[in-house]
Amino acid sequence: STAEEVVGKPGKFEIRIQVGPNETRHVVYGDAVQSVELPRGDQSGMWGVPFTLSEEGALTFQRIAKEVGATRNPKAHEVSMYLDKDEIFSAPLAPELASALDKAPMRSLVAEVGAGDAGSRKAKELYIHLREGALPVNVKIIGSGQVDAALGSQFKFQVALAGILAILAVGLLVFYRYRERRIVLPIVCTSFSEVILMLGVWSAAGWQLDLASIAGIIMVIGTGVDHLFIITDELLHGERVTERNEQEAKGVLLTGKIYLARLSRAFYIILGAAATTIAAMIPLLWMGFGALMGFALITIIGVLIGVGIARPAYGRIIGYILGEVA
């Protein structure tokens, strides 16, 4: 209930200009802030948070700054920012900005907070407040859930155990289906490599790995194993059909042309299935939010990695195992 109360009540952001010793004048609210950039430091070590006002907000800011005299005497008219009536920033206009505002409205502004580590910390806090106060619409809670916390060591053990059991289950299923030990290891290793690649992309992008993203990874693994089965079935099925009997087929090498023809048929099916999966995820990625976007995004990434890297690699590996002649 506390989380819902905090999340469901967006902060009220306001910019005011000092007009007297204990008096300020309202300038704009948070809806006038169009965008907020990451904090950055200049060559002198001064940290600031760049933000952009809307055209109407910039005109209002210039008009009021001129009316109260902030463009002529900026030190006597500090600009203050408030979030839920709590002051989060206060500083006079820079002389260059005051001179520019006296002539034309300025949309791109920078709130400088200080230098060094303290300035960096304040800039990060101000960035969060600006982003929170610049929400264009009110927040509406459409659902809530709860995930119980788990002890770190116990959770890691459970994840490792689940991964090992999953690999064993896939390996046993592959061996039961094909009765061929040489095929088990390539399929298991290919599936495992896909997970590593997906997690690598996710980590490099700095995205949050939540339960929905993990569900997307599991789904990609399932469809990936299906695709590997399709490739293996095409190669083995074609070999048994073209030979007179299975005993003779075991000793026959796949020629390059036959191998490529069968692999092409398999990839024709796989590409169709991959395109269908991506097409199904695009609406979630475009119109979704939160967990749904993470689920759709990692699914699309996994499918692209599988079709572009894992499937061709497995096709080459299984070709050599079955005796393909390049």
Residue 127 · residue 49 · CB < 8 Å: yes
Read off the pLDDT of residues 26-56 as tens digits, 9 standing for 90 and up.
888 888 888 888 888 888 888 998 998 889 9
Tell me the C-alpha distance between 307 and 272, whole Å: 11
143 domain residue, yes or no = no
Q: Are 171 and 90 members of one domain?
A: no
- What is this structure's pTM? 0.51
CATH code of the domain covering residue 282: 1.20.1640.10
Label residue 115 exposed, middle or buried (CB < 10 Å: 0-12, 13-18, 19+).
middle
| Predicted confidence (pLDDT) at residue 220 exceeds the cutoff of 80 | yes
Q: Are 81 and 122 members of one domain?
A: yes
Q: Is residue 80 classed as helix, strand or coil in its secondary structure?
A: strand
Q: Are 87 and 210 members of one domain?
A: no
Q: Are 233 and 308 members of one domain?
A: yes
Q: Are 160 and 278 members of one domain?
A: yes
Q: Are 9 and 126 members of one domain?
A: yes
CATH code of the domain covering residue 60: 3.30.1360.200
Q: Are 199 and 244 members of one domain?
A: yes
Q: Are 82 and 206 members of one domain?
A: no
Q: How far is CA 239 from CA 3, 70, 180, 236, 322, in A?
A: 61, 85, 15, 5, 10
Range of 119's domain? Answer: 2-133
Domain count, the chain: 2
Q: Are 65 and 185 members of one domain?
A: no
Backbone torsions φ then ψ of 175, nearest 5 degrees: -65, -40
Tell me the C-alpha distance between 49 and 76, whole Å: 23
Least confident of 27-36, 127-136, 300-309: 127-136
Q: Is residue 111 classed as helix, strand or coil in its secondary structure?
A: strand
Residue 302 · residue 217 · CB < 8 Å: yes
145 domain residue, yes or no = no
Most confident of the ranges 107-121, 169-183, 246-260: 107-121
198 domain residue, yes or no = yes
Read off the pLDDT of residues 136-162 as tens digits, 9 standing for 90 and up.
455 666 666 665 665 556 666 776 777
Least confident of 106-115, 140-149, 188-197: 140-149
